[in-house]
Amino acid sequence: MLHLRLITPSGRTDDVVHLIEKTVGTTHLVVLPGAARDPVGDVVMCDVAREAGDELLATLKELGVDRSGSIAVEDIDLSLSERAEKAEADAPGESADAVLWEHLAEETHEESTLSVTYLAFITLATMIAACGVVLDNAILIVGAMAVGPEFGPLAGISTAVVRRAPRLALRSLVALLAGFAVAMALTVGFSLFMDALGLFSAEKLHGDRPNTGFVYAPDAFSFVVAVLAGVAGTLSLTSAKSGALIGVAISVTTVPAAANAAVALSYGDTAQTWGSTEQLLLNLLGIIVAGTLTLLAQKWFWARQRARTAAASRSAS
């Protein structure tokens, strides 16, 4: 269930209340006339089943509540109420399958912003992966994958394509490309520093690496895994199952490929540099394509679900 807290101008409160009352899957409606001070207006609160939330939010925006007042949405972790159970049962579909497009857009906007923290995480992840590829240590590779924040911009690009939001697409693309460029440039310097300390060497990079040699040898499986990870990652975002993102992060060779390219570049190994770059680009492309197609499929599915619900409501009336 979701909890909505609205501030509405007094003249629009009746319209908002009527909308909530006729929306299938809503309950616990509360109206506090004149309670809001900034902006001045009424406070309207209700609970809504997650699968009915996106439609209600879209209609509230059509009424201009987001411009003349405010719309705040919170997840309800626990609700002991028979009315809530009935609301969830009446709402179409399953809550785990529901997509809150406004929440998705807000989350990807935040995760795809080029910031100092984002650059720090992707740089640290690339440096950890650099240690992993030189030492042929799979544990370090997995750790670097988990630290890398690159799925945010990738999801931002997919969301922007589906929602036709060019600004989000540009912001995500800049964060993705600039992030990897900065991380790889700093990792080149890190590699040279480690070489000067005697911790990295060309012999280790060019030696037999059974655990990490795959990062510069792209093949068909690289794209297949990237596509599967893109689908899983997108579903984890839209269904609020964020724990699955960790599994997605450690299944694709993005950060390790960038790290291997940077280390190889520091030693002038163009073959590994190009191979790792191809691996990186192949994985990024697979995730973006899969994420976009997944969102399009979810959008189509919920459009049909709403159409069936509306038809059933008309037949019942």
Asked if residue 247 has pLDDT above 70, the reply is: no
52 confidence band (pLDDT: 50, 70, 90): confident
Burial of 28 (0-12, 13-18, 19+ CB in 10 A): middle
54 confidence band (pLDDT: 50, 70, 90): confident
- Taking a C-beta distance cutoff of 8 angstroms, is the pair 147, 210 a contact? no
Domain coordinates of the chain in residue numbers? 2-98, 103-302
Asked if residue 18 has pLDDT above 90, the reply is: yes
Helix, strand or coil, per DSSP, at residue 33: strand
pLDDT at 140: 93
pLDDT tens by residue, 253-267: 799 999 999 999 999
How many whole angstroms from its chain centre is CA 103? 10
Q: CA 132, CA 150: separation in Å to the nearest integer?
A: 19
pLDDT at 252: 72
Q: Which CATH architecture has domain 2-98?
A: 2-Layer Sandwich (3.30)
Asked if residue 309 has pLDDT above 80, the reply is: no
Look at the pTM and tell me if it is higher than 0.85: no
Q: Count other C-beta atoms under 10 Å from residue 211's C-beta.
A: 16
Angle at 190 between CA 187 and CA 193, to 5 degrees: 155
Q: What does DSSP assign to residue 112?
A: T
Asked if residue 141 has pLDDT above 60, the reply is: yes
What's the mean pLDDT in 235-249? 63
Q: Count other C-beta atoms under 10 Å from residue 40's C-beta.
A: 12
Asked if residue 107 has pLDDT above 70, the reply is: yes
Poorest-pLDDT segment among 34-48, 169-183, 190-204, 242-256: 242-256
CA distances from 84 to 58, 88, 195, 238, 305 (A): 21, 6, 62, 22, 21
Length reported for the chain? 317
- Taking a C-beta distance cutoff of 8 angstroms, is the pair 291, 231 a contact? yes
pLDDT at 4: 96
pLDDT at 314: 60
Asked if residue 246 has pLDDT above 60, the reply is: no
Mean pLDDT of the chain: 88
Asked if residue 96 has pLDDT above 60, the reply is: yes
Provide the CATH topology of domain 103-302. Glycerol uptake facilitator protein (1.20.1080)
pLDDT tens by residue, 281-298: 999 999 999 999 999 998
pLDDT at 112: 84
What's the mean pLDDT in 83-99? 80
Q: In terms of DSSP H, where are the helices of the chain?
A: 13-22, 50-62, 65-68, 82-90, 101-111, 116-135, 138-147, 151-163, 166-196, 202-206, 220-238, 244-249, 255-266, 270-316
Helix, strand or coil, per DSSP, at residue 230: helix
Share of residues in the chain with pLDDT > 70 (%)? 91
Angle at 252 between CA 188 and CA 270, to 5 degrees: 35
8 confidence band (pLDDT: 50, 70, 90): very high
User: Which of residues 312 and 280 earns the better pLDDT score?
Assistant: 280
201 confidence band (pLDDT: 50, 70, 90): very high
251 confidence band (pLDDT: 50, 70, 90): low
Q: Which of 192-201, 207-216, 238-247 has maximum average pLDDT?
A: 192-201
Asked if residue 83 has pLDDT above 70, the reply is: yes
What's the mean pLDDT in 38-53? 92
